[in-house]
Chains A and B, each alone.
Chain A
Amino acid sequence: MIHLERRPQPSRLWTATTPLIAVVLTMIVGGTMFAALGTDPFEAIRTIFWDPLFNTQFAGFTRPQLLVKAGPLILIAIGLSIGFRAGIWNIGAEGQYIMGAICGAAAGLALYPSESPLIFPLMILAGGLGGWAWAAIPAVLKTRFGTNEILVSLMLVYVAENVLASVSSGLLRNPEGMGFPGSRNFKEWDAAHNAEIVAGTGMHWGVVFAFIAVIAAYVLLTRHIQGFNIRLTGEAPRAARFSGVNPARIIFLCLGISGALAGLAGLFEVTGPAGQISIDFNSGYGFTAIIVAFLGRLNPIGILLAGLLMALTYIGGELAQLMLGLPGASIQLFQGMLLFFLLATDVFTNYRVRFGRSEVA
């Protein structure tokens, strides 16, 4: 019989190694799945994890994509992780991401065709505010009425998608677009274009903000009293109240930060890689970022690495789709499995596995 025994304190070794074990397990099970789909598993794994970075033929094209995809994932996941640390489950980042993009784009488009250098900063501000405001809805409802933030933030994703559908064929539609849905293309408007900062690296302003967010979150969580209060609220809500932490303030802080960061990610995406507001410019980053946050152990540095890894699976997945004809959805499943295995192996962080007679359970 196998049974679990609670460790006196969480194991640091396992905290660091479980993500790696989860990755390996996912590769094994994923490989088996690919084999079942009739693809050589080793080739598939290589195509996903190795080729995007090192293949002589197309790494030059795919490598910059790494930062392009990792930027929004890290930015959103950092925000989510701060909330998760406090036990506040914002799972509607996708909606905040969409609303940030819409608000930022709208602020810019209102001033079209100005070439003022203030346009882009204004759009960034509006994008952050848009995401913040969308996340403030569950915050207000939770603090005023005790409404569950998980369900509200998620419902608001569907609302945001409807808003997106509406504005991309209405309010923000390109007047010169011959009636097609979708806004003006920001790539053709220098003042509002989130262009590559260093050509050929994929580094755009969203990536810069992501790095800043990683550092800021690290300082917040390890050094600042508000970060301590956030962690305390997640670890022991009653102890936090005893300490003097105002729970409503923590809720607003966490949802506000995660909403604003998601909104920023949306704005950078729509003005850069996506180029325009269109009905399907969002690509599920808001949901994948949940996996990134957990895979990174809700730790800023971990999230940085996890974001890069997850970006790699995106690019590798596209590559595998192209080269090997693997279905696109298999990557989505691959990412979901990664989270599952991580949660499964997490047990070793807090428990020791003992072999032998177990107590009556």
Chain B
Amino acid sequence: MADNLLSLRGLTKAYPGVIANDDVSFDIRHGEIHALLGENGAGKSTLVKMIYGLVKPDKGEMTFDGVPFAPAKPSDARSAGVAMVFQHFSLFEALDVAENVALGMENPPKPGDLARQIREVSETYGLPLDPTRTVGTLSAGERQRVEIIRCLLQDPRLLIMDEPTSVLTPQEVEILFKTLRKLKAEGTSILYISHKLEEIRSLCDHATILRLGQKVATCTPAETTARELAEMMVGASFSAPEAKPHSPGEVALKVDGLSLPAPGAFGTPLRDVSFELCAGEVLGIGGVAGNGQDELLAALSGERLAPAASVWLGPRDVSREGPIARRDAGLLSAPEERLGHAAAPNMSLIENAVLTGARRQGMLNNGMIQWGTARGFAEQVIRTFDVRTPGPGTAARALSGGNLQKYVIGREILQAPEVLVVNQPTWGVDAAAAAAIRQALLDLASQGAAILCISQDLDELMEISDRFGALNEGRLSAIRPVAGLSIDQIGLMMGGAHDMEVAHV
């Protein structure tokens, strides 16, 4: 087995109530790109954490380059030659690029030398980056470069990449793939985690598929169809949502020249956003994370007031009205962050029903909460949207991501909105629940509601939207019908004027 860089044998890791990895074995060869494929909750991240020394396996062993490998902490893994590019949580916004890189290295050189090395590596691999910039001011793509360069400076033998393309435009993805192929040609092995099938088919030499903590298969993705991969990943075929034919009605929501300053040091300002949304229509808004999605939702939900005459609900200017008045008028919304924004984690589902449903569902009588009515509504949401929970008295944080998402979206849909704004409605949700949520949105539209769906999942937007636009640095592209849009056109819309080639160095 001399051509294997890393071998996993029988890795098992259990958490209370759930087996994250059950007897997982596979090999990564020298100089190959190996995909790890699976749905959310399939056990990909636990597996990777074991390789990176963040989690200790209960059972099983690993060998790295023929030598037993059991990293007790990340620095052990790093010194063995394992480097990891995280999906979230590993950059420090208030620190500069060089400091961020230094924190990820075992023995960083002197600051001056480090800055020089960062420049060199970033030139070599086509990833321009200025070491003195504060990370908080970088775009998502640039932040990822920080992480990649941090890894490359340590001459890794195995590079782990966790969902690297979820924050990139199609053009940025191409640049990343070039870098990865170059690394592979130099003999570096790459473990590439994703659930995007086409990417894996075009990039990876082998793929290991995980489902519910167990290895389903290791295959050669180029010789497997996307459909076969999907079925191995999900375990069953599921029905894609169906759009019912409908004709758009009158303009339900009009946003006219909406500009808002950035909410905080690292937020995005909205710049002259304009669009019209008709009754019965689904408008999809795409874009890389951090380009004004949260800010747009806040401006529409009423959390942040907009300048007068910039947000119109039918004939009514609601720009200066807060969330309560907008809800009364029929404009409902569901933010991206479930815990802490759309729902209060420590409060029960009943209390979370009061959060947005208090007035529309008649839960108030002279300011006193009618808890019976609130419970009834919570139970209705749970029933209608198949939310798996012991009961409506359960705290929101006790629900799985997918179930809470169904509850949060269901809570708004059942209030029969005239306009519904959702941000990332299926983020981190398993395929079946995602399909159910998309179907519910389409059904709502077919009943005549206007739906604005903000999402970073292009497949989702293509599937459910009638028209599509993209946010880039707080600007909204022109809105185009989805029918006939090519991936290149979408990429250009998402990239705006801010392409990788002209990225500021």
Contacts and interface: CB of A to CB of B under 8 A. Distances in A.
The answer on direct contact between A and B (beta carbons under 8 Å) is yes
Interface of A: 5, 8-10, 223-226, 228, 231-232, 235-236, 238-244, 246, 354, 357, 359-360
A228 B397 CA distance: 18
A246 B395 CA distance: 24
Given A244-B322, A360-B55, A224 B345 contact: no
A225 B344 contact: no
A239 B344 contact: yes
Interface in B320-379: 322-324, 327, 333, 335, 337, 339-347, 351, 354-356, 358, 364, 367-369
B368 A244 contact: no
23 contacts: A8-B398, A10-B395, A224-B369, A225-B367, A225-B368, A228-B354, A235-B344, A236-B343, A236-B347, A238-B340, A239-B341, A242-B333, A242-B341, A242-B342, A242-B356, A244-B302, A244-B323, A244-B327, A357-B56, A359-B54, A360-B53, A360-B56, A360-B73
Interface string B397-419: 11000000000000000000000
B92 to A, nearest CB: 20
A56 B327 CA distance: 65
Contacts of B303: 241-242
Nearest to A219: B368
A199 B278 CA distance: 74
B347 A232 contact: yes
B347 A235 contact: yes
A236 B340 CA distance: 5
Contacts of B337: 238
Closest 3 CB pairs of A and B: A8-B398, A9-B395, A244-B323
Interface of B: 16, 53-56, 72-73, 301-303, 322-324, 327, 333, 335, 337, 339-347, 351, 354-356, 358, 364, 367-369, 394-395, 397-398
Most B Cβ at <10 Å: residue of A10, A238, A242? A242
Given A9-B398, A228-B354, A239 B53 contact: no
Nearest to A223: B368
Nearest to B337: A238
A224 B368 contact: yes
A225 B366 CA distance: 9
Given A224-B369, A244-B327, A360-B73, A239 B355 contact: yes
Given A223-B368, A243-B355, A244-B323, A238 B395 contact: no
A238 B341 contact: yes
Contact of A8 (B335, B341, B343, B397): B397
B483 to A, nearest CB: 34
B54 to A, nearest CB: 6
Contacts of A226: 367
Contacts of A236: 339-341, 343-347
Contacts of A243: 323, 355-356
A231 B369 CA distance: 14
Contacts of A354: 16
Nearest to B356: A243
B77 to A, nearest CB: 11
Nearest to A9: B395
Nearest to B341: A238
Contacts of B395: 8-10
Most B Cβ at <10 Å: residue of A228, A239, A354, A360? A239
B388 to A, nearest CB: 13
B468 to A, nearest CB: 26
Contacts of A223: 368-369
Contact of A244 (B72, B324, B342, B347): B324
A343 B56 CA distance: 31
A225 B327 CA distance: 16
Contact of A246 (B55, B322, B327, B398): B322
A359 B55 contact: yes
Nearest to A236: B344
A246 to B, nearest CB: 7
Nearest to A233: B344
Given A224-B369, A359-B55, A360-B55, A232 B324 contact: no
A224 B367 contact: yes
Contacts of A232: 344, 347, 351, 355
B145 to A, nearest CB: 28
A32 B343 CA distance: 47
B346 A9 contact: yes
Given A236-B340, A242-B335, A244-B302, A10 B322 contact: no
B368 A360 contact: no
Contacts of A241: 303, 323
B112 to A, nearest CB: 33
Nearest to B394: A9
Most B Cβ at <10 Å: residue of A5, A226, A236, A359? A236
A242 B301 contact: yes
A246 B322 CA distance: 9
A246 B302 CA distance: 11
Nearest to B340: A236
B367 A10 contact: no
Nearest to A241: B303
A349 B463 CA distance: 45
Contacts of B56: 357, 359-360
A316 to B, nearest CB: 36
A89 B262 CA distance: 28
Contact of A225 (B72, B358, B398): B358
Nearest to A240: B344
A225 B324 CA distance: 13
Given A10-B346, A236-B339, A354-B16, 17 more contacts: A9-B395, A10-B395, A225-B364, A225-B368, A235-B344, A236-B341, A236-B343, A236-B345, A238-B337, A239-B341, A239-B355, A242-B335, A243-B356, A244-B322, A244-B323, A359-B54, A360-B54
Contacts of B323: 241-244
B346 A228 contact: no
A246 B305 CA distance: 12
Contacts of A359: 54-56
B395 to A, nearest CB: 4
Contacts of B368: 223-225
A225 B369 contact: yes
Nearest to B352: A239
A212 B351 CA distance: 26
Contacts of B367: 224-226
Contacts of A5: 16
Contacts of A244: 302, 322-324, 327
Given A8-B397, A9-B394, A228 B345 contact: no
A47 B367 CA distance: 48
Nearest to A232: B344
A87 B339 CA distance: 18
A10 B398 CA distance: 10
B90 to A, nearest CB: 15
Contacts of B54: 359-360
Contacts of B345: 235-236
Contacts of B333: 242
Contacts of B301: 242
Given A224-B369, A226-B367, A242-B341, A360 B72 contact: yes
A173 B344 CA distance: 53
A228 B369 contact: yes
Contacts of A235: 344-347
Contact of A9 (B55, B341, B397): B397
A360 B343 CA distance: 30
Contacts of B340: 236, 238-239
